[in-house]
Structure 1
Amino acid sequence: MARHKIKHELISNESKRKVTFKKRKGDLLKKIDKLTTLCGIMGCAIIYSTFDNRPEIWPSPLELTRMLDRFKELPGESKDKYSGSKDHSW
């Protein structure tokens, strides 16, 4: 059977929205962890929400800084390949 398209819209009940956010955030972080482990790649996530004062950074702020520094060290053509844009301000 084919799957039907689901219309995405804001959950109006704030408590349900918060619970859904926490569950989906956990699932997303598990997926990123699996992807980086199974494929031997570097990955990170920065998640902002209205429920927290600070963004959540995975795996850690220190690791994120290391990844960004490594990305900044790439030659210009390589950065363009990964960033999807040729005009960025690094």
Structure 2
Amino acid sequence: MKHELIPNESKRNEIFKKKTVRLVNKANELSTLCGVEAAIIIHKKGRRLYDIGEDNAMLWPSPPIFSERLHKFLNHPDSEIRRRMVKHEKFMEQIKEEERENVSKWEMRCELQESRQLLNELMETRSHGRLFP
């Protein structure tokens, strides 16, 4: 799937609304299941979101709770924030590295399975008194 701007504005707005709802649902699920405090800012340049006021930013879970979580986050010492914060590029590199490792593991498993299968075929052929096909 290509990630590029959707040229049709009405289609773009429709997808924006759907994706926003999904993002908020996932954040709520993460917060509930894992017991973490999450917060989201969605800012749509030049447009109001869902006609919910003059501002064009949406805060989740709610402005007062969001503000409380943001203040709690910003009141941590800088070193603690830097230690815990992961930049998107670094996060994506970690995911790519994990996937490379998974691919290597599966390649090794496939090679091992192919070797076992070949050995089984050889043993079966040998047990029938035929060494060569």
TM-score tier (shorter): 0.7 to 0.9
- Cross-structure match for 2:56: 54
1:3 maps to: none
Query: How many residues are aligned here?
Result: 80
Normalising by the residue count of structure 1, what TM-score does the alignment of the two structures yield? 0.78
Indicate the residue corresponding to 1:88 in structure 2.
none
Percent identity between the two aligned chains:
36
TM-score relative to the length of structure 2: 0.55
In structure 1, how many angstroms separate the alpha carbons of the residues matched to 2:57 and 2:42?
5
Q: Alignment partner of 1:57: what SS?
A: strand
Structure 2 runs not aligned, ≥5 long: 49-54, 88-133
Instruction: Kindly report the root-mean-square deviation, in angstroms, between the aligned alpha carbons of the 2 structures.
Output: 1.7
2-structure distance, mates of 1:14, 1:24: 15
- TM superposition shift of 1:54: 2.2
Greater radius of gyration (CA): 2
Which structure would you say has the larger RCO, counting Cα contacts within 8 Å and 6 or more residues apart? 1
Unaligned runs of 5+ in 1: 1-5, 86-90
Residue 84 of structure 1: CA displacement? Answer: 4.6
Offset at residue 29 of structure 1 (A): 0.5
Aligned match for 1:38, one of 33, 38, 56? 33
Considering fraction of residues, name the structure with more helix.
2
